[in-house]
Amino acid sequence: MSSSDKLALTLLLLALPLALVAALVSGPVSIDLGAALTQGWRSESSDAVILWQLRLPRALLAVLVGAALGMGGAAMQGMLRNPLAEPALLGVSSGAALAAILLLYYGSAWQSGWLLPALAIAGAFCAVGCVWLLAGRGAGAGQLVLAGVAINAFLSALMALALNYAPSLFAMQEIVFWLLGSLANRGWDQLLLALPFVLLGAILLFSARNYLRALSLGEDSAASLGYRGRRYPLSILLGIAAAVGAAVAVAGTIGFIGLVVPHLMRPLVGQDPGRLLWVSALAGALLLLLADILVVNFVGAQELRIGAVTAFIGAPFFFWLIVSARRGQQL
């Protein structure tokens, strides 16, 4: 690793706590951060309530969701050996989204605060299970991609059908807003619900990091190094389903994080897919937190949806990527 890469990683480590502090002081209402911290979460002062009940859980949830999406994207690209892969490719996001949409469709989402995210997490696991079964025993990267595309297309069609036959305009609006992704009105309940699943996903993914390194040499080379059977691919798929499914469950569908972040971080770790996992988790957390700071400071009649903000960040990156590739071909 070059000195410039080490410097970039050091700046990344320093930027996250600074962004967290910026998130705590961002918003339409100014607060005394020091006083609110010393007063504690039990205080009934307005500054303490805003900090402990509104801004802190939202900021921590942005960190958790961004880390899950970045880490899941790095694992997916490493397993499929495709830099354009992301968790949505295998239907993880669509499975979670469809389960949540069905709950919103029937108007049962608000009967319990944990019902919608719990069902969305179950939907993510079901989608991954369907991909695994459809791909078949001993499936390679190509079969997994084909199975994922098929399942994802089917789930997207079901979501479009639910939108088309939404029972009311209010239900349709809730579904569309949820699909756009948001961290608004999220609290400690959503954070504590998603945290164990993201941690479980991180454990499963990091336990397979050496498999990802071996897989970068090819499937035959990985098998010759002792990584045979379905254990490691299944561990990665379950890890992605747990982490990304939980992220989608509490924040809706947020695109481009799992796709853009591993692209940006890969040169900093020397193309090592094992180290890319934690670096992408860190960068994903930072990127989503910065996007949420932009959202809360945007002055408008209605709050921006964070999924739209990340799309605006991601699309220019790919424009730049295409232009760079064309220049390289011309040279």
> How many whole angstroms separate alpha carbon 299 and alpha carbon 9?
33
Domains of the chain and CATH, by start: 63-330 (1.10.3470.10)
Q: What is the pLDDT of residue 1?
A: 58
H-only helix segments in the chain: 3-25, 33-39, 46-49, 56-80, 92-105, 115-135, 141-164, 169-180, 188-207, 209-215, 219-224, 231-251, 257-265, 273-297, 306-330
Residue-level pLDDT at 174: 76
Residues of the chain with pLDDT under 70: 1-2, 4-5, 106-113, 137-141, 229, 299-302, 325, 328-331
**What does the pLDDT read at residue 203?**
95
Enter the pTM of the model.
Answer: 0.90
Q: What is the dihedral of CA 264, 267, 270, 275, to 10 degrees?
A: -10
Q: What is the pLDDT of residue 325?
A: 65
Contact 181, 305 (CB under 8 A): yes
Say if CB 309 and CB 294 are below 8 A apart: yes
Q: Pull the structure tokens for residue 114.
A: 């944990």
Q: What is the residue whose two structure tokens read 């309530």?
A: 49
pLDDT at 57: 94
Model pLDDT, residue 290: 93
pLDDT in the model for residue 166: 74
Q: What is the pLDDT of residue 280?
A: 94
- Helices 141-164 and 92-105 pack at an angle, to 10 degrees, of 20
* pLDDT at residue 112 in the model: 56
